[in-house]
């Protein structure tokens, strides 16, 4: 069993370019109600959450991330939603492209190849978290949408010693 200091809390994600990141931050700033915006530097679309895992498994993900290289995926982020348990307001595509679902499947397969148990299978719900400790948004669509030409996949460590915190990119496609 790995010690706490040998653990890394990691996830695989699509990483926005500067322009898309700024557009997402503007949407988060315009949302009404309580809550706090996710830091601009933390905006991403999770493909697979590995969670707290031994550092050796994180190295396996890092070594295999080139398998997730992708052609540009055109994302139209136009739908707002809310996860009531963690009280997170998010934005996502109302019509996710098949290429995005396929990329998420490939990210899950990489986790499987690295012997990472990501828990019970859940339907992939592509989204970018915008606000935490938030109430549901007053609208369910935004206009104009955020158009993101997504092409960069990253392996991100969130925090240290397996606990949530600051983001650090460990590898990228």
pLDDT tens digits for range 23-79 = 999 999 999 889 999 999 999 999 999 999 999 999 999 999 999 999 999 999 999
pTM: 0.93
Instruction: Give the model's confidence band at 5: pLDDT under 50 very low, under 70 low, under 90 confident, else very high.
Output: low
Q: Which residues contact 166 (CB under 8 A, 6 or more apart)?
A: 158, 159, 160
Question: What is the reported pLDDT for 121?
Answer: 85
For 4-172, CATH number out of 3.10.110.10, 3.90.1140.10, 3.40.50.150, 3.40.309.10 equals 3.90.1140.10
Q: Please report, rounded to a whole number, the percentage of residues in the chain having pLDDT higher than 70.
A: 95
Checking if the pLDDT of 125 tops 70, the result is yes
- Strands (E) across the chain are located at 7-14, 36-37, 45-54, 73-83, 88-93, 128-132, 141-150, 153-160, 163-172
């Amino acid at each position: 069993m790995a010690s706490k200091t040998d653990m890394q809390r990691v996830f695989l994600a699509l990483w926005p370019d500067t322009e898309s990141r700024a557009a997402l931050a503007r949407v988060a700033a315009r949302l009404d109600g309580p809550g706090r915006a996710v830091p601009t530097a933390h905006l991403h679309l999770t493909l697979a959450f590995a969670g707290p895992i031994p550092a050796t498994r994180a190295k396996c993900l890092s070594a295999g991330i080139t398998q997730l290289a992708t052609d540009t995926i055109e994302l139209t982020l136009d739908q707002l939603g809310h996860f009531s348990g963690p009280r997170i307001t998010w934005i996502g595509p109302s019509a996710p492209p098949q290429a995005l679902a396929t990329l998420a499947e490939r990210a899950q397969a990489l986790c499987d190849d690295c012997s990472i148990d990501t828990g019970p299978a859940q339907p992939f719900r592509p989204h970018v978290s915008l606000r935490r400790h938030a109430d549901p948004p007053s609208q369910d669509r935004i206009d104009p949408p955020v158009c993101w030409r997504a092409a960069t996949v990253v392996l991100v460590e969130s925090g240290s010693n397996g606990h949530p915190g600051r983001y650090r990119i460990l590898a990228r496609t």
